[in-house]
């Protein structure tokens, strides 16, 4: 009869040996790091890792143990790399400073652009974020807002990036990768959608509802209870309120804010029409200046990976291993590369933190492409 305690004693002895050998190996890896710091050679050497895994696999017996040995040494080498990145940071080997730290965002005499018209939620977010008197103007599309910042006609743009009911605003994610702008701030607002009609309209008159697709989606449940209403997508919510006013047709209604209703002299036909009482939209503030404020606490990045087992896991391990808290992950298709994806990750931290530096160094070195979208 096998004795469990005896087995456990033996396992304990073997594990102690593994720890001793692991630490011995890590010591050698630190020497390797020193060599690499001196020579500027890259930490990651994929060819060396491939050869090692092949040899070590061959040393194990049976398919199960071969796979196990490969997995084990993949992890050991990943840990070795993480230690080396740490040593690079400790030796003050700085990656190129991608963003410059500032005490506070420049807010004097700035111009801010938003998409939509006055009364739009972007306008409300802008008013909330920029407390001071700022000059603002609006444009027709999100791309126009990006262009205005790139061309220097605006210092900042306010863009909706996600909503707690309808999810991400995919176009904004894609535009953020297309334009080299930095996210320097964020503002959350709680849109309170209402159904607006002409002053003499009643709910029974309505045949068509127009609004931005996000607002139509956030009020999806309410609209399902009026299946005969036609839905018309518009570029923004406030614009749809404006259209009701201009068309002067009492069979039309718009989903927009209370403020938009007041602005265009419309009547509230229904309120509380978003089934999610917690409905909130997050806006990002983007700037052409590659800056971040010194007390910034959230980092947004994106990276691209090649299709290989474990690549995403490996990227995320840099965040986990450095004790950072990931708050969001999204993926978007990469145009021109079918079935390949770009990952967007948010995590807590400041670019000056060593843990953040180590994680970003690792991700940048091991992803096909990585960019910091902002620290705010
Ligand atoms: O041999 C190296 O160049 C090392 O840095 C050591 C090591 C390892 O731990 O074995 C770690 C990272 C490299 O990608 C390859 C191998």
Helix (H) or strand (E) holding 51: helix 46-59
Do 14 and 35 fall into the same domain?
yes
User: Looking at residue 275, what is its pLDDT?
Assistant: 82
Q: Could you tell me if residue 29 is inside a domain?
A: yes
Is residue 275, in this structure, part of any structural domain at all?
no
CA distance linking residue 90 with residue 37, whole number of Å? 11
Task: List the one residue out of 238, 257, 298 whose CA is nearest residue 114.
Answer: 238
Query: Region 229-248: what's the mean pLDDT?
Result: 94
CA 210 to centroid of ligand 1, rounded, Å: 59
Return the pLDDT at 131: 80
Q: Do 173 and 111 fall into the same domain?
A: yes
Does any domain span residue 98? no
Mean of the pLDDT values across residues 133-142?
A: 92
Question: Is 287 contained in some domain?
Answer: yes
Which atom of ligand 1 is least distant from the CA of 48?
Answer: 15
211 touches 292 (CB < 8 A): no
Provide mean pLDDT across the span 184-213: 95
Q: Is the CB of 249 under 6 A from ligand 1?
A: no
Smallest CA separation from ligand 1 atom 1, residue:
48
Whether the predicted interface score ipTM is above 0.90? yes
Same-domain pairing of 71 and 13: yes
Q: What's the chain's length in residues?
A: 376
pLDDT of residue 147 exceeding 90 = yes
Domain with 146 in it: what CATH number? Answer: 3.40.190.10
238 lies in the same domain as 364: no
Backbone region of residue 123 per phi and psi (left: phi > 0; alpha: psi in -120 to 50; beta: other values): alpha
The residue range of the domain holding 304 is 295-376
Q: Are residues 285 and 176 in the same domain?
A: yes
For residues 50-74, average pLDDT? 97
Q: How far is the CA of 342 from the centre of ligand 1 (A)?
A: 27
Is 372 or 192 the better-scoring residue by pLDDT? 372
Reported as a single tens digit per residue, the pLDDT across 260-307 is 999 999 999 999 898 888 889 999 999 999 999 999 999 999 999 988
164 is catalytic: no
- Residue 80 CA, closest ligand 1 atom number: 9
In angstroms, the CA 167 to CA 151 distance is 30
Do 284 and 301 belong together in one domain? Answer: no
302 is catalytic: no
Overall domain count for the chain? 4
Mutate to test the pocket of ligand 1, among 45, 54, 88, 366 (most ligand atoms within 8 A of CB): 45
Q: Which of 269, 304, 335 is the last residue of a domain?
A: 269
CATH code of the domain covering residue 59: 1.20.59.10
The gap from C-alpha 350 to its chain's centroid, in whole angstroms, comes to: 15
pLDDT in tens, 301-334: 999 998 888 899 999 999 999 999 999 999 999 9
Is any ligand 1 atom within 6 A of the Cβ of residue 314? no
Q: Choose, from 73, 114, 130, 283, the residue flagged as catalytic.
A: 283
pLDDT attached to residue 144: 97
Q: Are residues 245 and 112 in the same domain?
A: no
* DSSP three-state, residue 297: coil
- Predicted TM-score (pTM) of the model is 0.88
Q: Over the stretch 1-10, which tens digit does the pLDDT of each residue have?
A: 999 999 999 9
In a domain, 163, yes or no: yes
Looking at the fold, whether 171 and 209 belong to one and the same domain comes out as no
């Amino acid at each position: 009869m096998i004795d469990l305690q005896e087995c456990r004693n033996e396992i304990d002895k073997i594990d102690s040996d593994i720890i001793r050998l692991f630490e011995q190996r890590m010591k050698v890896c630190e020497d390797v790091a020193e060599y690499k710091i001196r020579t500027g050679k890259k930490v990651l050497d994929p060819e060396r890792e491939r050869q090692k895994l092949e040899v070590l696999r061959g040393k194990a017996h049976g398919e199960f143990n071969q796979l196990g040995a490969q997995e084990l040494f993949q992890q050991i080498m990943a840990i070795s790399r993480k230690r080396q990145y740490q040593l690079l940071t400790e030796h003050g080997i700085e990656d190129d400073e991608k963003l410059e730290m500032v005490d506070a965002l420049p807010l004097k005499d700035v111009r801010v652009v938003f998409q939509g018209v006055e009364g739009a939620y972007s306008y409300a977010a802008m008013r909330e974020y920029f407390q001071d008197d700022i000059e603002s103007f609006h444009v027709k599309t999100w791309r126009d807002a990006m262009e205005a910042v790139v061309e220097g006609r605006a210092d900042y743009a306010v863009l909706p990036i996600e909503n707690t009911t309808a999810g991400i605003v995919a176009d904004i994610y894609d535009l953020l990768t297309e334009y080299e702008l930095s996210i320097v701030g964020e503002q959350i607002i709680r849109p309170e959608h209402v159904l607006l009609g002409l002053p003499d309209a009643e709910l029974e008159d309505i045949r068509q509802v127009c609004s931005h697709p996000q607002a139509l989606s956030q009020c999806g449940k309410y609209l399902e209870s009026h299946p005969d209403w036609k839905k018309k997508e518009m570029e923004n919510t406030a614009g749809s309120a404006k259209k009701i006013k201009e068309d002067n047709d009492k069979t039309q209604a718009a989903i927009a804010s209370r403020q938009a209703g007041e602005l265009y002299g419309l009547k509230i036909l229904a309120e509380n029409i978003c089934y999610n009482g917690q409905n909130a939209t997050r806006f990002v503030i983007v700037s052409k200046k590659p800056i971040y404020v010194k007390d910034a606490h959230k980092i947004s990045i994106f990276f691209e990976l090649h299709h290989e087992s474990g690549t995403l896991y490996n990227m995320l391990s840099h965040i986990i291993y450095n004790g950072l808290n990931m708050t969001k992950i999204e993926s978007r298709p990469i145009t021109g590369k079918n079935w390949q994806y770009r990952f967007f990750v948010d995590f807590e931290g400041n670019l000056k933190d060593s843990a953040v530096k180590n994680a970003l160094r690792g991700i940048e070195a091991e992803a096909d492409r990585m960019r910091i979208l902002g620290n705010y």
